[in-house]
Structure 1
Amino acid sequence: MSQFPDCNGIDSARVFIHTGTGIDVFDPGLPVSPTNPTVFMANAGIPMGGLTISHNLNGNLAASPTFYTNSSSMYSYYNGAGWTSTGHGVSTVNPGGGVNYIFSLNGGTGEVNRYDGTGAATPLTTITPSSGPYDLESDNQDNFYHLETHTIPGKLIKYDFNGVPIDTFVVLGHPIQTAGGGFALIGNQVFAVFNVTPSFYTGTIINDTVNLQSIGNISASDLATCPGMPAGIPPVPPIADFIMSSTAICAGSCITFIDSSKNMPSTWRWDFPSGNPSISLLPNPGTVCFDTPGVYTIRLIVSNVAGADTMTQLLTVHPVPVASIKGDSSLCEGNSTVLTASPAGINYLWSTGSTQQSITETPTTTTTYSVIVTQNICSDTADFTVNVWPFQQGNIMSDTLVCSGVPVQLWVTGGTGQYQWYPVNGLSCEFCPNPVVTGSGKTTYNAILLDTHGCTDTLSVNVEIQPPFNLVLHNHDTTIYLGDHVQLMASGAPFYYWTPTTYLTYSQSNSPIATPLEDITYTVTGVSILQGCPQTASVNIKVVQPDVVLPNAFTPNGDGVNDIFRVVGRNFINLQEFKIFNRWGVELFSTSDINKGWDGTYKGVPQDPGVYFYQIRVAYPNGKTQNLKGDVTLIR
């Protein structure tokens, strides 16, 4: 699903937050809470060096405005489904996007680069280094801004697109900060994240001064907003606009209202005739419910210091029909009934799929039918249960599985006491309520009987007499090295279950492979179908450690823990060769002393973090040698 910022609508007045791996969004019209900010893009999927919103500078008008970031020293932009690299390099991060340019800052040096989408970013100017949050912000006239908070009072400096300072605003109420964090602008409103608790501050530029105040605590690496009105320009009257999740609903339903007004209103007044609530003063009132049918005028009045505006939309609340079903509620199995829905003259959808007002049904068991009656866009559902008498007083024994040679006593009750069983093969009697079954195999026996409703019925029971079998476990107790495996093998049974299932490839096979990490006893149970007639057998596996042990990573940081990559072996092992190579095949280390190891350097120079390769040859007292090859990760 596309996740572009809606800079022409609701997102023009929201703040986007780079969380380190994804993007959240904050609604300034609501307080900071567990649901504000909320997730906008859970995981960006690429390393992100800062975040900004800019008109697409790389020819994709369908993806404009969109998110930009610095990923691996290249600008990348979001295309609606994923991130696309521009192929254009940038030596600085902390971007601020506008219409024709993106400006990026090296907070430590004060270097500002400008990017126009045609090639690598180029140096533009140098501003005061380490003087505030490492971030820039731009407006829709390609001016960019830098927030300086290394002194009190601080400054918000406005530069034109050539890097020339054109305005300065006094900043009060901020903590001292020279690095990290981020800031953003929505017209004259300033948002900033500092390395303090609480971290999130905001304030409005009034008479060339902004007084920042803490509004809560959020986790953020950078802030971004849509390129908007330049800071310092007097506010203009708002333009009222809002979105309804639906313009027609059913009585008793609820819809959502979202403010999409422009020019930064500061107050809101919603009117919802016959709604619950009937009024709201919130920017986004959320869900409003309507119980009474009718056509209502929804009104939003917005205002700021420059004026006010009103917008209305019509909402139609339709009545909900009351559905019902008539028909026979009791049948003998095999008979039919006609079910009719009301009220008449509207649309119907039965649980059977029929769209007629009446249906004819012949249920074989007690069945509940439902119908959806629709008038306009509103529906109601009615249920109707038809009781079927398939011999309610009759009862027959449960399906049975026994081992070979065990006779089975059948039984049935109910009806008038008159019964007939079929088939008769293997039965001790045909017309009694409790015949005895002998033989083998699987057979379904049926008993015909009568009930007090005059309905005949046939009840059935499945009887399975399992043939004999003999479980054989072909494994003996054994000892293996850690990392080796054992092929288990059993035969003679129709089905197998191994316990425990730990370290097995498939616990219901007759021949699973076991790769245990410690001493273990496996038990196999042989059964007939449905786990009948079980037989068991067990085997013990002892696991011992190998002669040579090598770690897969080490950290030569001088803390005395895992600083050296070395061969660990039993005392009788002779190390003949131990060599380390980089990925280009250059030998970095060599020794035959088992007490020595590689410290992560080559000719005294620490090597970069990454994967390196080892080659080892060891000898045993019996004259056997063993060659080992593999890789190890150097972590700093």
Structure 2
Amino acid sequence: EARFKLEHKAVCSGETINIIPEKFPGNSDYYWDYENDAITDDSYSKNLQPAVVSHLYPSNAGPDSMVYTISLRVRNTRNCYDTTLEQVTIYPYVIADFTYDSAGCSPHYANLVNTSSVNAVESRWLFSDSTSSFETNPSKIFLNTTESDKTHTATLIVTSAYGCKDTVIKTFTIYATPVVFFEPDTILHCSPFKVTFFNRSTADPVTTYYWDYADGTVDSTFDKSSTVHTYVTNRTDSATMRNVQVIAVTQHGCRDTGYSPIYIYPITIARFGVQKASCAPYIAHFSDSSVNARYYFWDFGDNQYSLSNAPQHLYPVDGRYLVTLVTASKNNCRDTIVDTITVYPSPRADFLIAPIYQRYPNASVTLYNRSTDAAGTPIYSSDTVWTFRIDWGDSTFTTTLIDSTLHTYATWNPTGEQYAVTLTISNPTCDTSLTRLITILPPFPVARFLRDTSGCPPLTVYFQNQSLFSSHGFVWNFGDGSPVEYSNEASHTYTEPGIYNVQLTAIGEDGVRDVTYRNVRVFNVPSPKFYVEPKEVQYPEAVINVVDSTRMGEFYHWHLTYLKPLGHDEYDTIPYEVIHSKTFSYTFRDTSKYGKFLIWLEVESDSLCPAVSDTQEVIVNPQPVIVFPNAFTPSLDGPSSGGKYNPRDNSNDIFFPYVPADRTFMIDSYRLEIYDRWGELLFVSDDLSVGWDGYYKGSLCKQDVYVYRCKGTYINGQKFEFKGDVTLLHKSW
């Protein structure tokens, strides 16, 4: 008989199922199938069957429960079997977990985020400081009141709807937070002053302290040592508070801030104004410009004192006096200033000067020093108490004073008055002076100018006036009858050859005059003149003769220029040749250049005065061209009308010479004769445009060889004659 009991018919995933079998006397073997899949998972004999059979089913991640059927099959000794079944339920497992900030400074505000599995329906938190929470995502404050780091734990227990549980424990590190405390050795003082700050903070040894002295100055230290800071001047009229701040930051970034006030009394500044130098007796007027001063103490340097803020004091004798002013504020802050007052003895300026009357350019005078101090002792520049200035009356000065001083005037007094020479002896506050007069008369004028000169007309001469002492002007006479000029510098243009005597009159003070002369020579200029013969030539014998008739010519430069036709009476001027003979013949050899040529003359005299001639024109005609053909084919339609032909007609019906169209003008007279082989004259033409049409007395001549003779005259008078034979060919029909 197969029977068993389940300790629990439902368990959470991961828990063991305990099965308690019942044993009967006849049972001999037990066969366990925990999933009822006909596969025996465990088998025991009667004697080995345990009282409790345990089995762990696979994990159930959910979301639903898993139901399994347990099968027990038993056999007795007679090989009889019995089977019993029982179902067991496996609930889904639940997982506890959360995220958190694992470390922080005390107080550490930890936000615990529950990340347990979704089937968790209940959460319980247990903390190491004996507090707990049933919130799903609680917030927790962890404290550390010690000087070292401290560890805390958080335990999360979650339960599913089936009562399944899971637990997770995590650790927190709570860093110690520093406690800032510092003390200044004084909190109230007159500026400027030093303060020592004693750092008594409680903190991790690895801590940085940041000091802010509240006056724009910051500092940092890595230990708790004391620090010293100087507070500079408080220039206000009341005490100033500086709230000093210290921030302590540990190696983990934990920080604390502390403050301590420092009070700074306003500074008092001792200042006064006074004229620091004068001559004895001297009454000094002191003005107060002190800052934040309430109380005053003056020591005038001569055993005299005052408690006034702006006293007056008499210094009856010369000397150097140290004046001391001590001021105190309402907070008894003090300041001292010391300055020097110099009291000079009064001097007496005196001198002689010689000579007192002379004429320029004599313009040197000597000043003889006779100055003394109050005791009658001579004074000079070596006495550093005084400064000296000699005003010579001509805008120049001397600042040294010796026994005698030489001075030279650059000019006489232009105003006609005397020069006033003044000696001044002074210190920064007192002075004395004396003035004496001298006379420097104006000089006599000296007329002078450059230069003797010569040149070709038109000759412009720039006269350089070098006259002296001509303060009242000049008169220029150029010697050619032109009007005189009244100017300092002058220029004049001479257009005619000749020698001219130029006069300069210089006028000085009181109308005194001086006269000087210079010569100007104007050279002759050539008169270019020539003729060309012939004025029209023809290649290949294109020769011209140039005959010069220039007056006063010495150096010749003949220019030959070719006018290259461009069309429509336009030409390009091309330099052809330069010839330096006086009279010459010239042969044109470049047959590619014909037409108009220009010739002109540049000529210079023996004084190199240039002149240019008029331009003359030379016509160079090209070489004539007359070419006769050696055969022609007369028209079979009968004689032509007078033998006129078209030079552009290529029919070859008429026998005529080829002459380029641009050279027909070169033929002045012309005669063409045609003979047969027996010497009979068949054709005559005196017109270049009329040729032989191959007919004689109205009939076509027979096909044969004929003789032609052509003679005439070119336009330059040259005769020509051409002889030859021509073959008359009949055209085929």
Smaller-chain TM-score bracket: under 0.3
With a CA cutoff of 8 Å and minimum separation of 6, indicate the structure with the bigger relative contact order: 1
Which of 1 and 2 has greater Rg?
Answer: 2
TM-score, normalising length: structure 1: 0.28
